[in-house]
Amino acid sequence: MMKKRRLRKIGKIRGIVEGRIVVEGEFVPRLGEKVYDSSLNEVGVVLSILGPKNRFFIEVKPSKAEDHPIGEPLYIIEK
C-alpha cells in the first residue's frame, strides 16, 4: 500500500532577493527540502531559515528562472 502524501504549506512568497525566493514562513521545513507550488511544480529547495521562531523567513534557491508572484503560497510534500 502506498503511503499517503500531502502538501504542507510553508508560507507565502514575500519577495525575490539576489535571485533567491524569500518566503514569509508558517512552518519550518528541513534544509535542502524541495519546495512546490500549488500545482505540484517544483519551485526550488530550502537554503536557509532566517529570523526568530515567531516571525521567520525561508530562503529558497529556485530550480529554474521563473516568475513567481508575491503572495503565492509554497509547499513541501509530507511523506
Q: Domain range holding 58?
A: 6-78
Q: Is residue 64 part of a domain?
A: yes
Q: Does residue 1 belong to any structural domain of this protein?
A: no
Residue 79 pLDDT more than 80? no
pLDDT band of residue 13 (cuts 50, 70, 90) is very high
Contacts of 61 (CB under 8 A, 6+ apart): 20, 21, 44, 45, 47
Residue 35 lies in a domain: yes
In angstroms, the CA 61 to CA 47 distance is: 6
Residues 59/22, Cβ–Cβ less than 8 Å = yes
The count of domains in the chain is 1
Query: Which CATH number is 65's domain given?
Result: 2.40.10.230
Question: According to the model, what pLDDT value does residue 67 have?
Answer: 85
pLDDT tens string 15-55: 999 999 999 999 999 999 999 999 999 999 999 999 998 89
Does residue 74 lie in a domain region?
Answer: yes
pLDDT > 80? residue 4? no
Which is nearest to 11 in space by CA: 52, 56, 67, 69? 56
Higher-pLDDT residue of 32, 66: 32
Q: What is the pTM of this model?
A: 0.90
